[in-house]
Structure formats: structure tokens, C-alpha cells
A = this chain, B = another copy of it.
Amino acid sequence: MFSAVPKYPPVIDGNELTQAKVELGKMLFFEPRLSSSHLISCNTCHNVGMGGHDYLPTSIGHGWQKGPRNSPTVFNAVFNAAQFWDGRAADLAEQAKGPVQAGVEMSSTPQRVVATLKSMPEYVSKFEDAFPGQNDPVTFDNMATAIEAFEATLITPDAPFDRFLRGDTAALSDHEQEGLALFMDKGCASCHSGVNLGGQNYFPFGLVTKPGAEILPEGDKGRFAVTATASDEYVFRAAPLRNIELTAPYFHSGAVWSLEEAVAVMGTAQLGAELAGDEVDAIVAFLKTLTGKVPEIKYPELPPSTDGTPRPVSMTQ
């Protein structure tokens, strides 16, 4: 039902994690010049120092626009079956292309990104190293592939729960094990399973009782926008629960700041069960054993803008 986070990044079909590619991907992940304002990088909303996200209900993007959904953590995202809250991107490379182009996020274009990267000789040479044998390696697709390679290294092994899964029963206290038992018995684990305890399948939010509009805004119909199938209205990917204590506020709306409250909401909305206070406490204690070891990241040195770098777009309000 559950698996441990592996100690090393997984193999990705068609994207070998070479050192050159991972290093390039790291530069691109931290590169604000992928946005047309030159202000916003992947790391702005998926901050590797803050649980892989931004501690905001929904992110701030280009022109101080508010994004529509809570920014998911990049940590362990490689283990999700698909990306975004509605699973509209099959993998991290496809995902990476979204925010770069979204008008409310980085507001750039593939053409602008390629012109920007080609204007800096260091990037051209890093792309050549990362994609050897290619004629014209500085492409929007290769940008996404390199970012995926870096993000695949952003895994957090060695959580207490991982040690428990590997046989160290002392890694979880009695209270935490009680929480795990409740998590399984009450039915949480039917949706939140696998390596990430979530991220594998889609379920209606409000399976039993629909939460209020402050938690489940009516205008966002979730996966319905992807499949145009009536039964996918208000369907979302089950949230991955790894490092959940580091990823408040909760839900796609980012409306709930307390993990206790989020667990209680799940009880009524998904399970039709009013969880008792001590049950919530035990489940939360268990959930906190999902906090793993964050990867060490040396801040990358990005090349200077040149005369040929497309200028940041107007910054007036």
C-alpha cells in the first residue's frame, strides 16, 4: 500500500540524469529570466528552502496577479502519476512548460526563452554539454527536460515513516502508529497511498459532503477542465502527503492553514466521518512522520545578461 522514498533519484524514461543535465536544470530552476519580468523563477513558487513551495494560499505571478490554485511542492513530485492539481501534465517536463508561458505566472514564450538563453554564451555551452550530439540544443523542450532532471533529484528520503517501512518499528511512536492505523482503518489510505501517499489518482473533493465555497470554490471544477467529462466535476488529484507539515496552507484553494483542520475536513468531506479530536491528533502525529531529509542545494551561479538578452518587460503597474 505504501512505499519508502528511495535514497536516490528514480530512472526517468527518455531522460537520463547526467550531471551536466541536472546542473543545467538547477540553473534553469533558479533562473528568473525565464519570466518576461526577470523576477520570477521556478524557485519563487517552489522554493527549495520552504518545503518546495511558497506558504501562500495561491501564488503571486506576473504583474502581481494571483494564481488560481495552491502551488504544490516540487519535493518528490517525480513520484506523482501526473502533475498539477488536475493532472493535466503527464510528467515534470511537460509541467515545466506551463508556468513559464502562463500569463498569470511567468508570462514568457518559448521564443523569448530560447532567445534569452542563447544570448548568454555560458548557457549555450551548458546546453551543449547536457545534450551532446544535438545540432541546436538550446530549445524550449530541452529547457523542460533539464528542469525535469533537476527536479527528479529533489526527493526527501529517510523520513521516520520510511525507516518504519524498512522494518525499524521504533521509528514511529505508539501515538504515531495509532495514527497510521486510523489512517488505514478510516479509509484515508484508499486515496493516499503509494510512495507519496497521494498523487496517484483522481477523486471528487466532497465525495460524501461538499465543503463550503471558501474551501471548494465553485468556479474551479478541477479535472473537468481537462477531460470535459461531467463525472470529473470537482475532481482533483489526491494530494501527495509527503512533508505535509511543511506545505500549509492546504487544499487546491490553499484555504486551510491548520493540518488538524485539514484532516477534519477530509473526514467529513471524503469519509463522511466526524473524526474525534484525539483521532485527528493521532493522524496528524502520523502525518508528521512523513517529513524527510531535504536535499542540500548549492545556489547556482547564473551567467550575466548580455547586450543581446531580451530586456525585462515593462515593470509599471
A residues with a Cβ closer than 8 A to B are 30, 32-33, 37-39, 44, 47-51, 54-58, 60, 63-66, 245-248, 257-258, 294, 296-302, 304-305, 307, 311-312, 315-317
Contacts and interface: CB of A to CB of B under 8 A. Distances in A.
Contacts of A257: 305, 307, 311
A118 to B, nearest CB: 16
A317 B44 contact: no
Contact of A315 (B49, B64, B258, B307): B64
A49 B33 contact: no
Given A56-B312, A60-B39, A63-B64, A49 B301 contact: yes
A304 B245 contact: yes
Nearest to A295: B299
Nearest to A65: B317
Contacts of A305: 55, 248, 257
A31 to B, nearest CB: 9
Given A248-B305, A307-B258, A317 B63 contact: yes
A316 B245 contact: no
B64 A317 contact: yes
Interface of A, secondary structure class, is: loop
| List of 10 A-B pairs having minimum Cβ-Cβ separation, nearest first | A64-B64, A297-B299, A55-B305, A66-B315, A246-B304, A49-B302, A39-B60, A49-B299, A50-B302, A60-B315
B38 A56 contact: yes
B47 A32 contact: yes
18 contacts: A32-B50, A32-B54, A37-B60, A38-B54, A39-B54, A39-B56, A47-B302, A49-B299, A49-B302, A56-B315, A57-B315, A58-B315, A60-B315, A248-B304, A257-B311, A258-B307, A294-B301, A297-B298
Nearest to A311: B257
Given A64-B315, A294-B301, A298-B299, A30 B49 contact: yes
A191 to B, nearest CB: 24
Copies in the assembly, this chain: 2
A299 to B, nearest CB: 4
A254 to B, nearest CB: 10
Nearest to A308: B257
Contacts of A57: 312, 315
A87 to B, nearest CB: 26
A264 to B, nearest CB: 14
Given A49-B301, A299-B299, 16 more contacts: A32-B47, A37-B60, A38-B54, A38-B56, A48-B299, A49-B299, A55-B305, A57-B312, A58-B315, A64-B317, A245-B304, A246-B304, A248-B305, A257-B311, A296-B298, A298-B298
A50 B30 CA distance: 10
Contact of A55 (B299, B300, B304): B304
A201 to B, nearest CB: 27
Contacts of A56: 38-39, 312, 315
